[in-house]
Structure 1
Amino acid sequence: MFTPALVGFSVQKDEFWFKELSGVSLSADVVINTKNESHKFSGDVLFTHRGISGPAILNASLFWHKGRICINFLPKFSEENLVNGKKQLSSVLPLPKRFVLEFLINFGLKDRAYYEFNDDEKSIIKRLFAYHFAPAGTFGFERAEVTKGGVKTISLDENLECKSVKGLYFIGEVLDITGMLGGYNLHFAFASALKVASALKNN
């Protein structure tokens, strides 16, 4: 079975405020927890009219299986700096002002100094260090960089020939091999094609 990979996430109602930030980008840490391990990706996050995308999100999508993800929107900013800030949040936080204001509006808060918020409001603001949410889904195949899934490598020999059907070879994305952003998938497509071409030539 094939599924979209290296793809952005659409959002559910609670995160519709993301859509109001279309075009805004920022640096963040994105964490995906699977059954046995945690995967963290650092890089740019881009808000779109459909949800959220960008390099960190695309790489994280490789490990997402209809569950929650966590984004640290302030990976290089400490809670101490937040607590000690005397200015309005939009001036203190190293985030696009448009993002901060939209975040506050979504939670019914005003732009003021951290010490002016009550404890419940402070807890909401601290979610910027660990914002958990469940995507509604992905942007689909039409927006995906690659696909995930395909022919299992265990069924092939070292020349990518099917063990059970002689003369049948598989290359590129049809195989259950998917790399992160950075040209790895394109490189594998060419490398696997060269491997099969060499095997056919030698036969």
Structure 2
Amino acid sequence: PAPALVGFTVQKEQFFFKELSGASTPVHIKIGTNHCEGSLLFTHKGISGPAVLNASLYWKKGGIIIDFLPHFTWGHIQDSKKYISSLLPLPKRVSKAFLIQLRIEDKPYHLLSSNEVEKLHTLKSYYLAPAGTFGYTKAEVTKGGINTSEVDNQTMMSKKESGLYFLGEVLDVTGQLGGYNFQWAFSSAHSCFKSIKREYT
């Protein structure tokens, strides 16, 4: 088993995230073929928030892709005379922190060099390789466990050992945020209870 529905710690390249602790913004996260949308919260440890917690269900090792501007197109700002930091749909201090980190001067979009434009556009597909997670103490659930193929799905009894039952997080079943894990715990426990009751009454 491993921690799940948990935040990510960051590597040296993203240590500046810690200075943004408390800021939150909508994002779209891609991990392989899996996609998670929702809020991302910057913390003193790294990143958290609903989108990140759901993404942790699919993360093993390696990188994730974050779209920090999920409902935004560059056409919105191309002709504006305002500075970029005031036009990006991000908290102002987040915008400024990214510009500093990406070494982009804060100025109107049409004055950016081609190199600056290319770097700015990475905010739509920002690569991040988490250093790890916040660990079991901060995780809402665990992922992994006993394969469901080893358990009778009507009774929750082991197919290998009669009288041995498995339910809830012990099994390799993990849901996203939204009460699914509570429901799984309750439902599997109910099935187990009915099976034991039939067996001994």
State the TM-score bracket (shorter-chain normalisation): over 0.9
Give the drift of 1:109. 2.8
* Residue 97 (structure 1) aligns with: 92
Give the counterpart letter for 1:165 in structure 2.
E
Residue by residue over 1:70-112, the C-alpha shift from the partner in whole angstroms, topping out at 9 and shown as x without a partner, is 1111111102123233210121111110100111122233321
Matched, 1:40 2:39: no
* Residue 81 (structure 2) aligns with: 86
2:192 to 183, 186, 196: 196
1 CA distance for matches of 2:180 and 2:80?
Answer: 43
Residue by residue over 1:7-65, the C-alpha shift from the partner in whole angstroms, topping out at 9 and shown as x without a partner, is 111100111111111000001111111xxxx1111110100001011101111111111
1 CA distance for matches of 2:68 and 2:38?
Answer: 11
Give the drift of 1:153. 1.0
Gaps of 5+ in 1: none
Matched, 1:15 2:14: yes
Give the counterpart letter for 1:60 in structure 2.
A
Give the counterpart letter for 2:197 in structure 1.
K
2 CA distance for matches of 1:123 and 1:17?
Answer: 21
Give the counterpart letter for 2:171 in structure 1.
L
Matched, 1:26 2:25: yes
Matched, 1:121 2:137: no
Aligned residues between the structures: 198
* Residue 145 (structure 2) aligns with: 150
* Residue 164 (structure 1) aligns with: 160
Gaps of 5+ in 2: none
2 CA distance for matches of 1:99 and 1:183?
Answer: 31
TM-score, normalised to structure 2's length? Answer: 0.95
Q: Secondary structure at the match of 1:193?
A: helix
TM-score, normalised to structure 1's length? Answer: 0.94
Q: Percent identity?
A: 50
2 CA distance for matches of 1:85 and 1:65?
Answer: 42
1 CA distance for matches of 2:125 and 2:9?
Answer: 19
Q: Secondary structure at the match of 1:132?
A: strand
When structure 1 is superposed on structure 2, of 116-125 and 101-110 the one drifting more is 101-110
Give the drift of 1:186. 0.8
Give the counterpart letter for 1:5 in structure 2.
A
Residue by residue over 1:139-161, the C-alpha shift from the partner in whole angstroms, topping out at 9 and shown as x without a partner, is 11111110001111111112110
1 CA distance for matches of 2:141 and 2:179?
Answer: 11
Matched, 1:180 2:168: no
